[in-house]
A = this chain, B = another copy of it.
C-alpha cells in the first residue's frame, strides 16, 4: 500500500535541506511521481528549491506544517535520514501536527511510526496512513541463487562508499536504457527508491541478516519477467565498516552480470561519524574486490564508473571524469550532470559480448 500518485507531498527536511543529510528529500524531488506542495525547513525559508539543492521544482520552501497545509499538502514525507535511522524526538510534534491537520505520513526511518503507540493512536483517530516504507514483508526466506535463472541482464550499482549516488545512477541508467528502446526495470532496495517507485521494492538494509540476500533475490525475480535489463539499486560499500554486509548480500542476492562503480568525487574518507580514519578506497581496488566477490555465484564485470561531482565546478567535474577514465580504462560520467550515455553504451556492448 502506498499513496495515490496524485497525493500532494510536503517534504519534511527541517534544519537539514541541502546540508548533506537530505538525500531522501532530494531523491523524491528529482525522481518522484507525486506532485510537491512544499518543502518544510524553517532554516531555508527565502531560498528556492533550485537554490538549495539544484533541482528544478516550483514548490516553495516553507517554515511550518501549517504553511504546508495551507498549500493543500496531503502527505508529509520525512525527507532526511540519519545514520542509524532513529526518529529524532524533535520531529514528533511536527508529525503529530501533520496528522491532526489531515496528512498521511511517509517514513523511511528504521523506527516505524506505526509501532509508536502515541503516533499510531493519533493516526487511527484521524484515519490517516502511516507508511513505513522500510518495513520488510513477513514472508522472506534465504537466497538460493535463483536470480541466475532470469533472462534479463542484471546490472547492480556498487560504490566506494555509502551515499555516493548509487540509486540516482541506477535510475538514470534505467531511463536511458528505455530511451534506447529496451525494456528496463529499476529495483528499489532502499527507502528513497521505494518512495520514488510508489511503494515497490524492499529496504534490504532493514531486513534481518539471514534474509537480506533472499529479499534481494525476491524483488529481482519479481521485477525481471518481460524485461531486457534489470537495474538493481546498490547499498553501502564493501569498504564501509557499517554497511558492507548489506552490500555483499545485494551482490549475492541479485547475481549481476555487470556492475557500475559509483563514487562521490568530493569525498576523502568513508562517510559517517567516527569513520574519518578510513580513507576512500581506490577505484582499482574496488573494481578488483567487487569482481572477486560476485564470482562465487556469477562473475560480474565492472563496466563503467558513475561519478557524483556535486559541489565541484564544471571544469573540475570534467577533470574528475577524465581522471577516472584514465585510472580505470573504463567509461565514466556524472549521470545527472553529463548524461548516462557512456555507461549505457558500455552496458549494451558488454551484454552483446557475453550473450
| Residues on A facing B (Cβ under 8 Å) | 83-85, 110, 141-146, 204-210, 212-214, 238-253, 272-275, 277-278, 281, 289, 292-293, 296-297
Contacts and interface: CB of A to CB of B under 8 A. Distances in A.
Contact of A242 (B144, B205, B250): B144
Contact of A205 (B210, B239, B250): B210
Contacts of A142: 83-84, 242-243, 272
Contact of A297 (B214, B249, B278, B289): B278
Given A144-B273, A239-B296, A241-B144, A208 B205 contact: yes
B245 A209 contact: yes
Nearest to A206: B208
A207 B205 contact: no
A241 B274 contact: no
A250 B241 CA distance: 10
A247 B251 CA distance: 14
23 contacts: A84-B210, A143-B242, A144-B274, A145-B241, A145-B274, A145-B275, A204-B209, A205-B208, A207-B209, A209-B245, A210-B243, A210-B246, A212-B245, A213-B242, A213-B245, A238-B296, A239-B296, A240-B252, A241-B297, A245-B249, A245-B250, A247-B248, A278-B296
Nearest to A85: B210
Contacts of A293: 238, 244, 289, 293
A241 B206 contact: no
A179 to B, nearest CB: 33
B248 A238 contact: yes
